[in-house]
């Protein structure tokens, strides 16, 4: 079984190097199947479509960009001390909000009954901010003694996690009510960058010290190496629809796509308040007899399903 798993990890890795210049973050667009990449060294966001065609989605961002997060049809971008937003369909800029930050880096979303908040780390100022999309306002949640990097909201266990830079880098859980934090684990790794999660509740952490991505189970009691021989792996993304771990290598200007399916028998069921509002196929048609469909809900989320007759 271990040999089979190893083949699944190594064989599907695909690399693309042309036009990447300091790729720092990657985000998947479920409606189109494309990936957005933060090209931090030249102020661009790139888009890699389903046919592996690479194009410039947005340019002249100024500082960065770094962290990316899609909410509905808007991709939110960390750019220096500002949060910017772009329409994923048109590329038009729709937001340029000043958080008065120093180096905004990691970003994640928490969706509660249709209200979406973004949580953003400030690497240099060692702070965590919350931005309300509905109110177009922000506030500081807490400050740290270490440099925060990637962050991820675990919707299964209703908790916000932050990974950190430095030696023996910790992973913190944030108490959003009391605006405090606690240590989940001191990893023994150095310079953690990104964090993502699969549909089974496992976490994936990128570390510069090992040039690898490490997998942890839901309570961080077990760990294993998922992908190695990377080059300064940055803000990773686990595509739960296709079981693909997307890794931007900021050290050698490449992307790695690793097929890694989790054990679905370990999925934790959690009640949901979301309601189905639309069913479409991959190119947006509402009425289709195809087995592949996308289900869109009123909280802005989407599920991809293969229907077996």
Q: What share of the chain in percent tops pLDDT 90?
A: 76
Q: Is the pLDDT of residue 272 over 80?
A: no
- Residues 11 and 153 reside in one and the same domain: yes
Three-state SS string across the chain, please? CHHHHHHHHHCCCEEECCCCCCEEEEEEECCCCEEEEEECCCCEEEEECCCCCEEEEECCCCCCCCCEEEECCEEEEEECCEEEEEECCCCCEEEEEECCCCCEEEEEEEEECCEEEEEEEECCCCEEEEEECCCCEEEEEEECCCCEEEEEEECCCCEEEEEECCCCCEEEEEECCCCEEEEEEECCCCCEEEEEECCCCCEEEEECCCCEEEEECCCCCCEEEEECCCCCECECEEECCCCEEEEEECCCCEEEEEECCCCHHHCCCCCCCCCEEEEECCCCCCCCCCCEEEEEECCCCEEEEECCC
- Residues 228 and 96 reside in one and the same domain: yes
Q: What integer pLDDT is reported at residue 262 of this predicted model?
A: 86
Q: What integer pLDDT is reported at residue 249 of this predicted model?
A: 98
- Residues 65 and 202 reside in one and the same domain: yes
Q: Is the pLDDT of residue 278 over 50?
A: no
Count of domains forming the chain: 2
35: containing domain: 2-266
**The pTM is what?**
0.81
Across 231-236, average pLDDT: 98
Q: Is the pLDDT of residue 297 over 60?
A: no
- Residues 254 and 283 reside in one and the same domain: no
- Residues 287 and 181 reside in one and the same domain: no
Across 47-51, average pLDDT: 96
- Residues 102 and 230 reside in one and the same domain: yes
Across 83-92, average pLDDT: 97
């Amino acid at each position: 079984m271990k040999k089979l798993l190893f083949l699944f990890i190594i064989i599907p890795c695909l690399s693309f190097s042309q036009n990447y210049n300091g790729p720092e973050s990657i985000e998947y667009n479920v409606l189109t199947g494309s990936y957005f990449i933060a090209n931090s060294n030249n102020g661009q966001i790139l888009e890699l479509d389903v046919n592996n065609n690479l194009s410039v989605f947005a340019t002249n961002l100024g500082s960065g960009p770094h962290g990316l997060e899609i909410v509905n049809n808007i991709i939110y971008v960390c750019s220096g001390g500002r949060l910017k937003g772009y329409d994923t369909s048109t590329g038009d800029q729709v937001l340029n909000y000043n958080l008065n930050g120093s180096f905004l880096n990691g970003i994640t979303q928490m969706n509660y009954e249709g209200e979406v908040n973004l949580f953003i780390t400030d690497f240099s100022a060692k702070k965590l901010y919350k931005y309300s999309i509905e109110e177009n306002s922000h506030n500081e949640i807490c400050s740290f003694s270490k440099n925060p990097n990637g962050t991820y909201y675990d919707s299964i266990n209703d908790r916000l996690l932050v990974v950190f830079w430095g030696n023996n880098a910790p992973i913190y859980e944030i108490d959003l009510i009391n605006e405090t934090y606690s240590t989940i684990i001191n990893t023994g790794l150095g310079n953690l960058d990104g964090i993502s999660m699969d549909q089974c509740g496992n976490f994936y952490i990128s570390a510069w010290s090992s040039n690898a991505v490490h997998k942890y189970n839901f309570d961080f009691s077990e760990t294993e190496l998922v992908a190695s021989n990377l080059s300064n792996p940055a803000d990773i993304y686990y595509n739960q629809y296709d079981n693909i771990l997307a890794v931007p290598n900021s050290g050698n200007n490449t992307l790695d796509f690793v097929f890694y399916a989790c054990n679905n028998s370990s999925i934790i069921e959690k009640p949901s308040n979301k309601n189905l509002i639309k069913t479409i196929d991959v190119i947006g048609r509402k009425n289709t007899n195809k087995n592949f469909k996308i289900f869109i809900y009123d909280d802005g989320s989407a599920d991809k399903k293969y229907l077996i007759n």
